[in-house]
Amino acid sequence: MTIIKGTHGRIGGAQPATRGPRSVLLPNQSFRYLTFDPDSVTAQTLNEALLPASDPATVIDLLQSLGAAMIESSDTTADNSTIPPIYTYWGQFIDHDITAGTDRPGSEAMSRWTADILDTAFEPVAPQEVTGKEGIFNLREPFLNLDSLYGGGPNDPATIDEQIFLKDLPGSGAAATDPRLALGTISGSASTVPDAHLPNPQQRDLPRRDDRSPRIGDERNDENTIVAQFHTAFLRFHNAVVDSLEAKDGRTPTFDEAAQLVRWHYQWLIVNDYLRTICMPQVVDDLLATDTHFFSQQGEVFMPLEFSVAAFRFGHSMVRANYDFNANFSNAAFTNLFTFTGKGGLGGFTQLPDIWVIDWRRFVDKAEGNRRRFARKIDTNLALPLTNLPSAGSGLVKHLAQRNLLRSYLLSVPTAQFVARQQGLPILPVTALVPTDKPAVQAALEAEHGLLKDHTPLWYYILREAEVHADGNRLGGLGSHLVAGTLISLLKADPDSYLNHGWSPTAESAVVNPEGPILTIADLLQFAGVAAKIHKLYTPIIMR
């Protein structure tokens, strides 16, 4: 494991952790194609699988046109889903837990991954090169084990240097074996934050250095203030688990004892709350019921490119232009989420100001009557601010839709039609794939004799499928299969996961709220002390 410093695509100062590997996976082998093997695939199959590499200028032009057409021309609140906005940023947190790409110094091939793909003409990289020795590799273990929270653990030199754990903070008074994580404090008055009556209301920020940068296992989790405060909630959840075990057993638990319970709750909630909200529940049930998984025939665990570069980027379409953030900012602009981070300068404060502490009740309640307190639909309409991402560097790379489409082409991610056929799933008919009510999107898909219509970028297809099959309120068949299939497969392949230990939350556990065990993300936030009890419209189906 590593301490990740910096933002997407820029990882500096990463140090390998001392804990031994959990699988035979090697870092430069960690990204693979799920639907074909570059070392054995035939040329004919590759021609069927990929957008043509013979005329990249034409393909790039079409992808740029499609990406531009997917951005709405003005801010609108009409595209609301039935999904609370926390699921948008929970997905980002999960992504940071299982993937982190980097460039290798001195590697000529690796310069392609960091080039501004929107300002520079490029040719798609051959699949063998993408997954080869000089290709992209993952600095994260492909398991849902909260590397981003714990780094290499309390005894790892890099983690100690970052002062992630309370025991490593000068003057903390914590014992050398204390397993609690460090927390930051807010600027201003703790009495004014949402749910200020809960314990330690001043500890609602990430721990920070003098330059405002966060002292956490993955600095990408300070990219925007929602994911930063979600990370803070998990820091507090870990410490609350330690406190509860201590109260129950009369002794301070070890780090491993506390972290195991935190990880298992996190994993269980991903399956029984996150995936059941985002995906088709029947697909989740079917995947859990089978003994096989994506990696059963592979001999090792890897991160599928079809998932990481395309399918799991569905959350970008859920981003709102404005959020009902708290009582102070009921219409907070998306750009403000980046201002109140370390890199954004925290509005001139040294810590998160009290007026920007999130009111989680506005982000998690599925019974909420205010439609503005929901994510945008999972569809082919993206919010206007995603044309100019504050943290995306320079140039046209700030345009998220175009960047997603072009990066997928650069890395030779197979088309949606090929992936669906390989997975034995039905393909959207052309009449459903091409939206006649969106002339610019239709024109991009039908240009050049319908090139993108017949060889559809996987990311666009996942969004369109959700739009057609579920009115944007969850993923469709292929999207559900790739997203739920990958995450559940990672859990099945991990010998330490809750699935492989037959664990589930129970009322007899030390980790319970007054109302019962932690069965939803709202319950976890309540136990962490960052939100009061939140009304829930539903009861999750518990899969033991």
Average of per-residue pLDDT across 168-194 = 96
Residue 11 has pLDDT above 50, yes or no: no
Residue 103 has pLDDT above 80, yes or no: no
Residue 541 has pLDDT above 90, yes or no: no
Average of per-residue pLDDT across 514-541 = 85
The domain ranges of the chain are: 27-140+147-528
| pLDDT score for 197 | 94
Average of per-residue pLDDT across 522-531 = 98
Residue-wise DSSP of 357-405: ---THHHH-TT-S-GGGSPBPSSS-B-GGGGS-TTS-SGGGG-HHHHHH
CA distance 435 to 470: 15
pLDDT bucket at 113, cuts 50 / 70 / 90: low
**Spatial CA neighbour of 4 closest among 194, 171, 148:** 148
| pLDDT score for 75 | 63
| pLDDT score for 277 | 98
Average of per-residue pLDDT across 166-170 = 96
Average of per-residue pLDDT across 84-104 = 87
Residue 530 has pLDDT above 60, yes or no: yes
**In sequence order, which residues have a C-beta less than 8 Å from that of residue 291 and are 6 or more positions away?**
none
Q: Can you tell me whether residue 425 is helix, strand or coil?
A: coil
Task: Quick: pLDDT tens for 115-151.
Answer: 667 666 899 999 999 998 888 888 888 899 999 999 9
pLDDT bucket at 264, cuts 50 / 70 / 90: very high
CA distance 156 to 174: 17
User: Range with the lowest mean pLDDT among 179-193, 232-246, 296-310?
Assistant: 296-310
Residue 345 has pLDDT above 80, yes or no: yes
Average of per-residue pLDDT across 244-259 = 97
| pLDDT score for 20 | 35
| First vs last C-alpha separation in the chain | 29
| pLDDT score for 544 | 38
| pLDDT score for 136 | 84
| pLDDT score for 393 | 52
Residue 100 has pLDDT above 70, yes or no: yes
Residue 59 has pLDDT above 70, yes or no: yes
Average of per-residue pLDDT across 328-345 = 96
User: Of residues 140 and 503, which shows the higher confidence score?
Assistant: 503
Residue 396 has pLDDT above 70, yes or no: no
**Mean model confidence pLDDT for the chain:** 89
Tally of CB atoms within 10 A around 363: 30
**Residue 361 CA to chain centroid, in angstroms?**
21
* The CATH number, out of the four listed (3.30.1380, 1.10.10, 1.10.3470, 1.10.640), of the domain defined by the range 27-140+147-528: 1.10.640
Q: Say if residues 353 and 411 touch (Cβ distance below 8 Å).
A: no
pLDDT bucket at 399, cuts 50 / 70 / 90: confident
User: Range with the lowest mean pLDDT among 102-106, 245-249, 253-257, 490-494?
Assistant: 102-106
